Structure 1
Amino acid sequence: MGQKVAGTCYIKVDGDQLVITGGVEVPVSKVKRETIVKGYFKEEDVIPSVKVDAIKTPGLDLSKITEGTNMTVTAEFKDGSSYVLSGAYLVDDATVNGDDAKLSLKFEGIDGNWQ
Structure 2
Amino acid sequence: MSRIAGTTYFKLDGDQLSLTGGIEVPLNTTSRDDVIGLDKSVDYKETYRAPYIKGTFKVPGNFPIDKITTADTMTATAELANGMVYVLREAWLSGEASFNAEEGTADLEFHGKTGFFQ
TM value normalised by structure 2:
0.92
Residue in 2 that maps onto 1:70: 73
Work out the CA distance in 2 between the residues paired with 1:22 and 1:99. Answer: 16
Corresponding pairs, count: 114
1:67 shift after superposition: 0.7
Deviation above 6 Å: which 4+ runs of structure 1? none
1:101 aligned to which of 78, 98, 104: 104
Work out the CA distance in 1 between the residues paired with 2:69 and 2:116. Answer: 22
Work out the CA distance in 2 between the residues paired with 1:34 and 1:61. Answer: 39
Q: After superposition, what is the alpha-carbon deviation per residue over 1:36-91, rounded to whole angstroms, capped at 9, x for unaligned?
A: 02541000112100111001112111101111100001111011111100010001
> Could you tell me which amino acid in structure 2 is paired with residue 112 of structure 1?
G
2:84 aligned to which of 81, 84, 104: 81
TM value normalised by structure 1:
0.95
Structure 2 unmatched ranges of 5 or more:
none
Q: Is the 8 A contact 1:19 1:57 kept in 2?
A: no
Q: Does residue 53 in structure 1 map to residue 56 in structure 2?
A: yes
Q: Does residue 25 in structure 1 map to residue 28 in structure 2?
A: no
Work out the CA distance in 1 between the residues paired with 2:115 and 2:42. Answer: 29
Q: 3-state DSSP class of the match of 1:92?
A: coil
1:4 shift after superposition: 0.8
Q: After superposition, what is the alpha-carbon deviation per residue over 1:12-32, rounded to whole angstroms, capped at 9, x for unaligned?
A: 111111111111011101210
Aligned residues: CA RMSD: 1.0
Task: From the CA coordinates, give the structure whose radius of gyration is larger.
Answer: 2
Work out the CA distance in 1 between the residues paired with 2:77 and 2:13. Answer: 8
